Structure 1
């Protein structure tokens, strides 16, 4: 009796451990590898590429001021600030503003290719290398092209792609989602280290940064209770974007709150493109089936509008 009991308990524990392992493996495969429509990552590709193009349009007038050989930061200083071993094509190229212009133009062209889905994976890789190199020069590979893209249009014309929806394992999109969630979680963690975020006055100081002011705020933000509500409310929203966004029933309310937060900051502060980049990232959490359904409704209404004809003037 006493000998068999421990053996029986050990067998039950082992059986439960195996069942738990199977459940974890099944959940992992379902989360990362169950095929889904690629419309979600395609929407993100379009928005992200558009934000990159807007960024290059803002940078172009002062390109050589920031990145040129006689700009505000020399190559040597940039290398000292970022450290060796960084991805920076400028360090591998000869000196000269012509090379700066060439890298910038190639990056802008790759961003355009990413946005419209033309040679999508190559464009994404080139845009990534160019973007990181530009950031390192001055520190002051997905199936996204298989929907809503020039690549898909070209492939369909050749007859090598089915007309139905394209399904792929969403592991790449999942990794970006996790990165976005980690971003919000780390933001909350770092903010909580600051006393003004803990006592609820951080938004007061943020709204008094005149050099970043875009539009005037209502007098409501002169009251302490409103300042504290905005400060602590933003922390709650960012915490929800790191955690509750994974709960299907809560996803859309959390995304709506996140969109409201970023649009509010966009209204109040002039921080070029950051809020729009984050809004693009939030679209990654919209189920691809919902994105596809919305696209079908828009396309149906567009076709109905085009097909409508003017009946002519009424008879007298």
Structure 2
């Protein structure tokens, strides 16, 4: 009786320790810093796209005069719905995204990015898709995380180096990693409830929606039952593999590469907004911190080298003559003898250069060039 109880307690301790290790172990924040930079770029691009027809999409005089009144919805534009508030919110989103990239007052910047993304999506939710929802979720994760603990101006202010990193708990990365599995597993389950995914015609059907395509596919691709079946069921296989096998270190790189290929294909052929780019940002959460540090060090080295070359060129191009330096003193007789002596040394190999060096080499006196004066007999 005692042995089973002891084994149960040991199993409980191991489970608790595994849970703590998974969520709360520490590592340098290089990977989280790279994710912050990548997401800041993504949020800035998203805000630029949002600015197109800003008032038509979100104004009280636009296509949706009033925001939806569902429960638990909130946002800045529920309180201030006017055009001035829309413009101010859009500018805040763009500026906060840029500030987020460089990591200056990162906590405030990430909170503002999340707040404005949430506010715009709640103001008119009918123009957004799942990619926009994923961007909102990512902004929340980063707003809650210490993402300014690496590769940021905050690091430079506190520790003297932009390229440094603090040790952090890994739970923000774990949230993103778990999010990947949730996305793909639930996607596969939802697709299997549809007839077109079961009979293998879903991708073929999609490739014939001309208004949704960036690059029209050849007819022999979109109308071939065999190709359609392979692409449809292959998509399901890749998505399921990412959702499950990404936790296996041996298979992780392979399934993520397959995911990159899948989403690049979607990005380049279909109008899906920012979904693929948001997925790529999520993929970064599986990059080991050692590789992230190596990447940051390499970028730092290249930038430092390029900066030194630029400064050296500026110094070389703009270096003035020393102020107040008198012109070199040249004796006419010495010059004549030097010219005459060149002919005597032409017969031997290198003699002309040796004579010129011997007769024309100046001495230095107080930093000024002075040619030697011939001695008189």
Please, what TM-score do these two structures have when normalized by structure 2? 0.73
Between the aligned partners of 1:238 and 1:44, the Cα distance in structure 2 is 22
**Does the alignment pair 1:86 with 2:77?**
no
Between the aligned partners of 2:97 and 2:264, the Cα distance in structure 1 is 24
Relative contact order, CA 8 A, sep 6+: which one is greater?
Answer: 1
Q: Which residue of 1 aligns with 2:250?
A: 249
**Does the alignment pair 1:26 with 2:12?**
no
Task: Please state how far the C-alpha of 1:202 moved relative to its aligned partner.
Answer: 0.5
CA contact (8 A) 2:155 2:162 kept: no
Q: Which residue of 1 aligns with 2:54?
A: 63
Aligned residue among 40, 64, 71 for 1:73: 64
Mark the structure with the bigger radius of gyration: 2
Between the aligned partners of 2:52 and 2:221, the Cα distance in structure 1 is 38
Cα distance per residue 1:131-182 (max 9 Å; x no partner) = 111101001121111111121122234xxx8986421111122112212221
Q: Which residue of 2 aligns with 1:142?
A: 145
CA contact (8 A) 1:191 1:197 kept: yes
Between the aligned partners of 2:193 and 2:306, the Cα distance in structure 1 is 54
Q: What SS class does the counterpart of residue 144 from structure 1 fall into? A: coil
Q: Which residue of 2 aligns with 1:105?
A: 91
Alignment of 1:115-154 (within 5 A): 115-140=101-126, 141-154=144-157
Q: Which residue of 2 aligns with 1:192?
A: 192
Between the aligned partners of 1:253 and 1:144, the Cα distance in structure 2 is 27
Cα distance per residue 1:20-75 (max 9 Å; x no partner) = 11111121121111111211111111111111111111121210000111010022
Between the aligned partners of 1:304 and 1:122, the Cα distance in structure 2 is 33
CA contact (8 A) 2:156 2:162 kept: no
Cα distance per residue 1:250-289 (max 9 Å; x no partner) = 1111110111110010111022221111111111111122
What is the number of equivalent residue pairs in this alignment?
Answer: 293
Between the aligned partners of 1:165 and 1:137, the Cα distance in structure 2 is 38
Please, what TM-score do these two structures have when normalized by structure 1? 0.86
Q: What SS class does the counterpart of residue 246 from structure 2 fall into? A: helix
Between the aligned partners of 2:289 and 2:88, the Cα distance in structure 1 is 37
Cα separation, partners in 2 of 1:300 and 1:104, compared to 1, 3 Å:
closer
CA contact (8 A) 2:149 2:165 kept: no
Q: Which residue of 1 aligns with 2:204?
A: 204
CA contact (8 A) 2:151 2:163 kept: no
Cα separation, partners in 2 of 1:224 and 1:162, compared to 1, 3 Å:
closer
Gapped regions of structure 2 (runs ≥ 5): 127-143, 314-377
My pick for the range that moved more, 296-305 or 140-149, is: 296-305
Q: What SS class does the counterpart of residue 36 from structure 1 fall into? A: strand
Between the aligned partners of 1:246 and 1:87, the Cα distance in structure 2 is 36
Cα separation, partners in 2 of 1:212 and 1:164, compared to 1, 3 Å:
closer
Alignment of 1:194-233 (within 5 A): 194-218=194-218, 219-233=220-234
CA contact (8 A) 1:120 1:151 kept: yes
Between the aligned partners of 1:216 and 1:79, the Cα distance in structure 2 is 36
Task: Please state how far the C-alpha of 1:305 moved relative to its aligned partner.
Answer: 6.3
Between the aligned partners of 1:189 and 1:301, the Cα distance in structure 2 is 46
| RMSD (Å), alpha carbons | 2.2
Q: Which residue of 1 aligns with 2:290?
A: 289
CA contact (8 A) 1:156 1:163 kept: no
Gapped regions of structure 1 (runs ≥ 5): 1-9, 311-316
Between the aligned partners of 1:150 and 1:222, the Cα distance in structure 2 is 54
